[in-house]
Amino acid sequence: MNKVETIVRKEWAEVFKNRLVLFTVAFLPLIMTVIPLGILFSMRGDNTLNSVTSSMPEQFTAFCPANLSGGECFQVYMVSQFMVMFMILPLAIPSTISAYSIVGEKTTRSLEPLLATPISTGELLIGKSLAAMIPAVIATYLAFGIYAVGAWILIPNKLLLGALLDLRWLIAIFIVGPLMALMAVSVSIMVSSRVNDPRVAEQLSMVVILPVLAVFFGQLAGLFVINQQLILVSALVLVIFDAFLIYLSVQLFQRETILTRWK
């Protein structure tokens, strides 16, 4: 077993015994899946909503496929709102895990013997990052899969189903999701390298969720609508931003500072 794999397995064995982490990894995706499915279920066959299209933001109705009734367009709109919330998963899960992974080592005083092994800083950070990223990505994919299957069962109209599961969301979930998870992990590693308390680390790491909330409320307020182009641009920006954050987190992870400053 190589060193990165050893760190990943060790992190999982340890971190999943933490109830807060377990809750975040298991229940958050569940909630994010149940809510949009609940909306779809409650709006089934409701024709009174056919007149609401006129009150929806103009840019949004432009993206509502033709041949959909007002009620169906409204379903697309509502579910799209929650799809943005879906993007919280690849941010919240790795933040919780990685906030504990370095500061946790500090509180148990296990970082010094770990750093005394021949592991390089790169191997250690890759191991810790993967340990936080993989569960987040898997949980996001699984939650989206459950949502897709649920939507397929609940919605007989294949056109509506296609609108709900269109390419922009597939790109968001399968490409932007892991990039966001990487961003969350890098921020979390930077924060937890610098603070001494896991709770502080977690709270500070959660700041990465703010841009997603801004997008959620922005779309809700009708300021913009997430389209394929916006998602692709986000992916590109995230690639560049992630590369910068990884560089920064490696630079900030100074073995000596961490060992001598932590009392």
Partner 1 sequence: MIKTENLTKKFNGNLAVDRLSLEVREGEVFGFLGPNGAGKTTTVRILTSLIAPSNGTAVVNGFEIGKNDKKIRQTVGILTETPGMYDNLSAEYNLRIYANLYEVEDVAGQVEKYLRMLGLWERRYDEAGTFSKGMKQKLAIARALLHEPRILFLDEPTAGLDPEAARLVRDFIEELRKEGRTIFLCTHNLDEADRLCDRIGVFKTRLLVMDTPDRLRSQLFGRKVVFHLRNSEQAMADSISQLPCVHDAKIIDNKLLVTLDDPETNNPFIVRKLVEEGADIQFVGELRHSLEDVYMQFVKNA
Residue 255 contacts partner 1 per CB under 8 A:
yes
Query: Shortest Cβ distance from residue 258 to partner 1 (Å)?
Result: 10
141 closest CA partner among 96, 187, 172 = 172
Rounded to 5°, angle at Cα 82 from 77 and 87:
130
By CB under 8 A, tell whether 45 contacts partner 1.
no
Q: State in angstroms the smallest separation of the CB of 204 from partner 1.
A: 24
Residue 118, interface with partner 1 (CB under 8 A)? Answer: yes
Among 1, 62, 66, 221, binds partner 1 (CB under 8 A): 1
19: contact with partner 1 by CB under 8 A:
no
Stretches 13-21, 37-45, 131-139, 210-218: which one binds partner 1 (CB under 8 A)?
A: 13-21
Question: Which of these, 176, 142, 171, 148, lies nearest to 161 by C-alpha position?
Answer: 148
Answer whether 60's CB lies under 8 Å from 222's CB.
yes
Find the binder of partner 1 among 50, 110, 121, 196 (CB under 8 A). 110
Nearer residue to partner 1 within complex by CB, 17 or 158: 17
| Exposure letters 172-192 (e unless 16+ CB within 10 A, then b) | bbebbbbbbbbbbbbbbbbbb
| All residues at 6 or more sequence positions from 152 whose CB lies less than 8 Å from its CB, including other chains | 161
Binding site for partner 1 (CB under 8 A): 1-3, 6, 10, 13-14, 17, 108-120, 255-256, 259-260
